[in-house]
Amino acid sequence: MESELDPDRIGRIGERQFEVLCERAGLYCNKSAVDVMGWDFIVEFPMVPAGQALPLDQRPTNAARVQLKSTLGRAGNRIRLSLSAIDRLAKDPRAALIVVFRLRADGELQSAYLVHLIGNELARVLRRLRLAEARKAHDINHTDISYDYEKVGVRFEPTPTGLLAALSASCGQNPGAYTIEKQRQLAELGYENGQFEAEALIQIEGPEHFSNLLLGLAPLKPHRLRVFDSRFGIRLPYQGTLFDDLEELRLTPPTLGNCEISIRGCGFGQAARFDGEMFIGPPMAEPHGPELLVRTPNFIVRLTPPALKFETVGLIDDMEHTLEEWAELLRALTLMATGRATLTIAGNDRIPSITFPVDQPITGPCLEELPLISEFVDGWLRLLTNAGLRSTARFKFDAFWESNEARMAVDILLKPKSEAHFEFQTLNIEESSPPPEGLYFNSTSFADTSITFSAKVFFEQTDDPEWRYRSTGFEALDVRPKVDDLEEYGMDQATAYDLKLIIDPRNITLAPRREAVGDPNTPARNK
């Protein structure tokens, strides 16, 4: 009876068989001269023939690093490799493979398996290395890692065709994309639940403060902070400088998904609508029980069993929004300031639509001016729509205090009974003529938009000896993007509407503003 092959002889037989199969498969097999690199062979694929499919400068090169293990299979289906060898092999950006040849007792090839160090198998290597680091077991030359090649490997026929098919399936046809994905996995595997964990000592001032912390409404200010890099659930002390300047942080509560918030008044007026996100607060028994938080970029709504709380995010003077965003926010604040509005939260599959009365007037700055400003913003948006314009600039609330001329245009063109009016000492008309009609035209701007408009003006005589003619109303005629020649525009409008009396904007003087702050309705007089 022949003696069993010793391990060294088994290894040499496997290597020669592998080299022969590579040659017969048309692969280029390069053996490692130094046995500490983690791989036995670099197997390169032939390049696409010149002049076919791709130009010479774009032909990719494809290769794999292979660790070959040969076994008689007498000790089961497991092979063992040093962790240091697998460390080098697995981290190579190209395909890293373990090929297992199972031999018969006489040295003939019986079957072959391929273990691809990508995905779960790469994660297993990285986890073992992280665990060794956590245990300070840095001598990984004397640490083994084993593989059940029948369980985690892919079996292939130990023939040239079988080897070529197995290697090609592992390496793919796009080595560049493979390398990118391999580098991503090397960087991200094990961090699926986040990279950092922290331990901090914080001071809690009471149940309400604790609730605010958990809802992310109040900053968490740690007195002592320890940060860990957590990979595969194995924590190591963080050594970088990323958190050196951290003074506070905020928690993010569990989300319930997106929702829609609408605020309506008691009449037929336009509602305000916002997109938001819902969060669930901690199940606290005190002071008011669990909270539901609805957050939008402009405000938050806190729902507790006894009450609804509405709070804007930051000071209104510090906010910066587009015209459309200002319109929704100012309309909402105006409606709620009446104390007769309703707030509806809908559009979430996990919670039914709910409506609350907003019967407690809100508090805050500029509440008396909000209705006038909100009316102006809605009106200006309507004029822009009619003119085919859109405002996209972001600006602060202070811009509304400098919008008198634009607000006058909205008042003249859109209000059924405009509070703006013209007064003249005399008009170039016959005394016996019917009440005169004139044309007023002008250009005005607000934020990043400018318009030119015209309106018919109706006059009546008064008993005032100083100002004998006063306007009684307006009829909007035209609005368009700002024109280059305003005088020519005015003459064209007068001709189109057969109006003889033309009010030149250059001859108009705005009267001083009324005492009510923010009142846009300023009477106009001739010079």
- How far apart are the C-alpha atoms of 250 and 295, rounded to whole Å? 15
- Considering 126-135, 215-224, 401-410, the range whose residues carry the highest mean pLDDT is 126-135
Per-residue model confidence (pLDDT) at position 505: 84
Read off the pLDDT of each residue in 324-353 and give the average, rounded to a whole number: 87
Return the minimum-mean-pLDDT range out of 216-220, 292-296, 352-356, 448-452.
216-220
pLDDT at 139 over 80: yes
Per-residue model confidence (pLDDT) at position 426: 67
Per-residue model confidence (pLDDT) at position 350: 85
Please state, rounded to an integer, the average pLDDT across all residues of the chain. Answer: 85
CA angle 29, 32, 37 (to 5 degrees): 130
Read off the pLDDT of each residue in 395-422 and give the average, rounded to a whole number: 87
Read off the pLDDT of each residue in 110-139 and give the average, rounded to a whole number: 95
pLDDT at 359 over 90: no
Type of residue at 169: A
**Cβ atoms within 10 Å of 103's Cβ, excluding its own:** 20
Q: How confident is the model at residue 255 (pLDDT cuts 50, 70, 90)?
A: confident
Read off the pLDDT of each residue in 313-324 and give the average, rounded to a whole number: 83
For residue range 62-99, what is the model confidence (pLDDT) as tens digits? 999 999 999 987 768 899 999 999 999 999 999 999 99
- How far apart are the C-alpha atoms of 386 and 489, rounded to whole Å? 17
Cβ–Cβ under 8 Å, residues 488 and 385: no
Contacts of 157 (CB under 8 A, 6+ apart): 112
Which of 370, 300, 312 has the alpha carbon at shortest distance from 337? 370
pLDDT at 421 over 60: yes
Per-residue model confidence (pLDDT) at position 517: 32
pLDDT at 493 over 70: yes
Backbone angles phi, psi at 86, to 5 degrees: -65, -30
Per-residue model confidence (pLDDT) at position 525: 41
Return the minimum-mean-pLDDT range out of 302-306, 321-325, 376-380.
302-306
Q: Sign of the CA dihedral 334, 337, 341, 343?
A: positive
Q: List 304's β-bridge partners, or say none.
A: 307
Read off the pLDDT of each residue in 225-229 and give the average, rounded to a whole number: 88
- How far apart are the C-alpha atoms of 97 and 172, rounded to whole Å? 13
pLDDT at 2 over 90: no
Alpha-helical runs (H) found in 311-418: 323-337, 370-387, 404-414
Reduced to 3 states (helix: H, G, I; strand: E, B; else coil), residue 507 is helix
Read off the pLDDT of each residue in 469-476 and give the average, rounded to a whole number: 86
Read off the pLDDT of each residue in 108-119 and give the average, rounded to a whole number: 95
Which of 102, 79, 47, 89 has the alpha carbon at shortest distance from 148? 79
Contacts of 526 (CB under 8 A, 6+ apart): 422, 423, 424, 425, 507, 508, 509
pLDDT at 423 over 90: no
Per-residue model confidence (pLDDT) at position 317: 79
Read off the pLDDT of each residue in 458-464 and give the average, rounded to a whole number: 79
- How far apart are the C-alpha atoms of 61 and 65, rounded to whole Å? 14
Cβ–Cβ under 8 Å, residues 494 and 500: yes
Read off the pLDDT of each residue in 9-20 and give the average, rounded to a whole number: 93
pTM of the model: 0.58
Read off the pLDDT of each residue in 314-337 and give the average, rounded to a whole number: 87
Which of 170, 181, 171, 185 has the alpha carbon at shortest distance from 126? 185
Per-residue model confidence (pLDDT) at position 205: 78
Which of 195, 199, 200 has the alpha carbon at shortest distance from 234? 195
Q: How confident is the model at residue 221 (pLDDT cuts 50, 70, 90)?
A: confident
Strand extents, DSSP E, 175-264: 196-201, 224-231, 234-237, 255-264
Per-residue model confidence (pLDDT) at position 519: 36
- How far apart are the C-alpha atoms of 131 and 233, rounded to whole Å? 10
What Å distances lie between residue 257 and 176, 338, 347, CA to CA?
A: 38, 30, 9
Domains parsed from the chain with CATH numbers: 7-49+58-188 (3.40.1350.10), 193-252 (no CATH), 257-367 (no CATH), 399-526 (no CATH)
- How far apart are the C-alpha atoms of 401 and 29, rounded to whole Å? 79
- How far apart are the C-alpha atoms of 9 and 72, rounded to whole Å? 11
- Whose tokens are 């009106």? That residue is 379
Read off the pLDDT of each residue in 355-367 and give the average, rounded to a whole number: 75
Helix/strand/coil (H/E/C) assignment for every residue in 99-162: EEEEECCCCCEEEEEEEECCCHHHHHHHHHHHHHHHCCCCCHHHCEEEEEHHHHCEEECCCHHH
Per-residue model confidence (pLDDT) at position 285: 57
